[in-house]
Structure 1
């Protein structure tokens, strides 16, 4: 089978740093934190009382009334980011040779958690007439964002929703890359969305002791690689990427941000929630992705690390990167943008893919903020970009995501050359 080239022609983003790609990128390279007190519910009973919430999000600016009514918040976030990506790409499905040439692979980790909590609470509390809303099941399903995106734009090709916890949207991007590469589609809209700032999510992750409890100063709570890190900051939002077969993009005169050149997935096969302490699965995942891309670690300029600010995860990932580099310093730099956006769970890989692509486009590596004292367990050969963005020519960027269940997913982006 002849392998097709896969390029990126459209981007859309929504996070605590902004409601579009431009504001997300601008705030990221300025090193701004999106963390603050939770306002969606009374969080006083929780050990963690803050998160990285969206600011000024108005779904009606891009979605119609029925879309908002019939969609859970995670789906609204997805549709919102997708609208920006479609406009950015100048993509009109009715001008394709066939609507079956275009598909959607969209990920989420928790799906419609807001709908589930709301419906269960109302059912239990309504003693006189307990009932469920007819939209309960369709709204909370994890595949519904993917389905509604395809319906809105008439994309009749490949359509599904992978789930691999916090590795989900990297898994989605990899699947989209492969299907186009194999000639199964010409355009795939991919990415992920998550709306996890709910009582069950904050309480559940808090019970796992996965969340930071720096309630006195949320802005500095997410501190990857720092010796005093105490857990991640929950984030929310969505990010969309339009992947397109190169000849198809060229024929329609699309602008091209970058090329997807490699991707891989592995499993730690180690623990439900902890990464392998030596990063064996992460190392092999990066290695496989580089091999597919025909690259070596010496070709990589930037790694957007998964680095959630958890005591175990940050160390194991840097050990894996050090092993990939054979313990020798080279030209690659690392940063952890979750220090600013918080952790978007199933949407994390998608927003970080956009940051990786923008680093290639603009020649700027966003910083890791809040890291004051480097954990001595972090290998000394790792070059982390701290506090301020780094101006640097980026030809190759690698993005890692890892998820509960031992899922590892790596995607590699490269500067596009005709």
Structure 2
């Protein structure tokens, strides 16, 4: 009996705010929520953004005046809305109107050029056309003759000026001792904490029920950590006249999100990995977790990614490829001089490139038996992810045929679970929707053709990148968590950044949700297909099942009596999770960061021919019987 990987917790942070308890999703469909849900999400964002503070569980403004959620909405809603989702890049990241660079300056000295400096600042070796005269103390007089080359500070506007940024005022490094941590790793610590706290079960209780190697973490980033505390600083330091630190290389590695979660959040000795697949990276890591749980090797898995690419280098690199939406091209699309950067990411509309974004998202998976045993709340299930390459390519960045294979296999897989009519009537698609002219044509065509193959009519399609931008490794995690919001609230987010669908988009069998949100009004959606396309031919499509459907599957597998017992335990779990939610709404995120705590003494590990006992873990690691190759030895 194959074990079903069920989602028992999820969390993270992106341009829509905090993901747990669907707050990020709620920000994207804010106009469609009832007043209590809308005001609760706005109040939580106001606290994150330091617009209000919480004292004795009361919201207060800067003057100490008590505020209700309705007061927060009336006073701060416009500011919150303008300081979340995709928008003009803020100066806390970089000045897009005056980005620093060095300009080469060639000088021919018509007469000797003299200046005074410190001896220790002289270049080594001294250029042949420099002469140096000692002065008092450590000073020297330098005379230059003939031709000289200099690099001088210069500033230029970047053609790309928009990105999906964390809510204004929210800084992840302020929530724990994040000294020298690259921003991507700060986000990973926060997101993993959010996901774990959302479970409603103490982590130690979960670990005590499984063997030490039955916990897995699969996480990473595709761009590594490119700010000054990671690879960015490593590569820039000497060129800027600074020293390389001992941490920049190690903390820059793209596997560090997984390493940080293991070492400082979970204290895990279980399986770990960081698979990279360009923009499909989250689904690549998710596939490893699904396969490991289904095979019985893993019982609990934390899967996620963290990406912080809003740097001048990333913008320059993707911009040089012509992949990003520039200010000038957005001006041409909108036909006006005043560019609305909030509409920069435009899936399936008239568009000109994608919009970079920062995000870190994690989900917690368990096998179905453990979830029932512990009374974990189930938010959905992830039975399959399919991955295929493109074959021969003439351009590494161009789309290819591999995505036809992944989407067709995903639909066929879901048909075996819910039947053909179930897929036709109760499924929808979270498209990659990168917002490039090539993507809008190629992805819509493949979705249209897959729909035709399975006789699907009016297949609902949405794209979360319209709101939060393209977070690279984390992009498909943004999609999965948005899909969970649709299951919860019965709302399909409308692509609000476009006025209409572009003429070259294929939609004979698709119902692309453009403009306003779509209320399901009693219609049941049980399956979401999450599609992702990445540079280099990295294609992945995943199947997400609704909690309603998973409940029915669990009832059938374990029987009504066992399911009723589980539901009673689940209520306690939900109540505990809500206690975290109440604290998080007030800005008390209770970040898990255990540096140098509860270290395992290697000498205390107990080894035998049957098992290993690791200090701090209730269950031993028992060696499994492996009969896979026995027939070859007999």
- State TM-score, norm by structure 1: 0.92
Query: Alignment partner of 1:325: what SS?
Result: helix
Equivalent position to 1:210, from 323, 330, 337: 323
Q: For the residues of structure 2 that align with 1:91 and 1:123, how far apart are their CA atoms?
A: 48
Q: 1:60 to 1:75 in 2, by over 3 A?
A: closer
Q: Given the alignment of the two structures, is residue 404 of structure 1 paired with residue 535 of structure 2, yes or no?
A: yes
Whether the 8 Å CA contact 2:452–2:509 is kept in 1: the answer is: no
Query: Alignment partner of 2:8: what SS?
Result: strand
Shift of 1:19: 2.9
Q: For the residues of structure 2 that align with 1:13 and 1:148, how far apart are their CA atoms?
A: 15
Equivalent position to 1:81, from 178, 191, 194: 191
Query: Alignment partner of 2:224: what SS?
Result: coil
2:344 alignment partner in structure 1: 221
Q: Where do 1:248-327 residues align within 5 Å?
A: 248-269=370-391, 270=393, 271-276=395-400, 280-293=401-414, 294-295=416-417, 296=420, 297-298=423-424, 300-326=426-452
**Once the two structures are superposed, what CA deviation does each residue of 1:349-397 show, in whole Å capped at 9, x if it has no partner?**
1111101122122222112122223222222321011122212221111
Shift of 1:329: 5.0
**Once the two structures are superposed, what CA deviation does each residue of 1:177-230 show, in whole Å capped at 9, x if it has no partner?**
11111111000000111000001100011111111113622111111111x200
1:363 alignment partner in structure 2: 490
Shift of 1:119: 3.2
2:239 alignment partner in structure 1: 124
**Once the two structures are superposed, what CA deviation does each residue of 1:240-275 show, in whole Å capped at 9, x if it has no partner?**
100110110111111000111221001122330011
Q: Which has the higher strand share?
A: 2
Q: For the residues of structure 2 that align with 1:331 and 1:374, how far apart are their CA atoms?
A: 15
Whether the 8 Å CA contact 1:171–1:265 is kept in 2: the answer is: yes
**Once the two structures are superposed, what CA deviation does each residue of 1:19-57 show, in whole Å capped at 9, x if it has no partner?**
343331111123777122222112223211221111232
Q: 1:207 to 1:60 in 2, by over 3 A?
A: closer
Q: For the residues of structure 2 that align with 1:11 and 1:291, how far apart are their CA atoms?
A: 27
1:235 alignment partner in structure 2: 357
Q: For the residues of structure 2 that align with 1:333 and 1:350, how far apart are their CA atoms?
A: 19
Q: For the residues of structure 2 that align with 1:60 and 1:85, how far apart are their CA atoms?
A: 18
Query: Alignment partner of 2:512: what SS?
Result: coil
Query: Alignment partner of 1:36: what SS?
Result: strand
1:48 alignment partner in structure 2: 160
Shift of 1:78: 1.3
Query: Alignment partner of 1:69: what SS?
Result: coil
Query: Alignment partner of 1:189: what SS?
Result: strand
Q: For the residues of structure 2 that align with 1:244 and 1:198, how far apart are their CA atoms?
A: 36
Q: 1:329 to 1:246 in 2, by over 3 A?
A: closer
Q: For the residues of structure 1 that align with 2:249 and 2:313, how far apart are their CA atoms?
A: 18
2:18 alignment partner in structure 1: 19
Query: Alignment partner of 1:113: what SS?
Result: coil
2:204 alignment partner in structure 1: 94
Q: Relative CO higher for 1 or 2, CA cutoff 8 Å, sep ≥ 6? A: 1
Q: Given the alignment of the two structures, is residue 197 of structure 1 paired with residue 310 of structure 2, yes or no?
A: yes
Equivalent position to 2:470, from 330, 339, 343: 343
Q: For the residues of structure 2 that align with 1:413 and 1:209, how far apart are their CA atoms?
A: 33
Equivalent position to 2:172, from 59, 70, 73: 59
Q: CA RMSD in A?
A: 1.9
Query: Alignment partner of 2:370: what SS?
Result: helix
Whether the 8 Å CA contact 1:99–1:154 is kept in 2: the answer is: no
Q: 1:102 to 1:329 in 2, by over 3 A?
A: closer
- State TM-score, norm by structure 2: 0.62
Q: For the residues of structure 2 that align with 1:362 and 1:246, how far apart are their CA atoms?
A: 24
Whether the 8 Å CA contact 2:458–2:509 is kept in 1: the answer is: no
Q: For the residues of structure 2 that align with 1:194 and 1:166, how far apart are their CA atoms?
A: 11
Q: For the residues of structure 2 that align with 1:388 and 1:48, how far apart are their CA atoms?
A: 27
Shift of 1:92: 3.5
Equivalent position to 2:261, from 129, 149, 158: 149
Unaligned regions of 5+ residues in structure 1, if any?
Answer: none
Whether the 8 Å CA contact 1:300–1:332 is kept in 2: the answer is: no
- Between structure 1 and structure 2, the one with the greater Rg is 2
Whether the 8 Å CA contact 1:7–1:257 is kept in 2: the answer is: yes
Point out the more displaced range, 352-361 or 302-311: 352-361
Shift of 1:60: 5.0
Whether the 8 Å CA contact 1:262–1:290 is kept in 2: the answer is: no
1:391 alignment partner in structure 2: 519
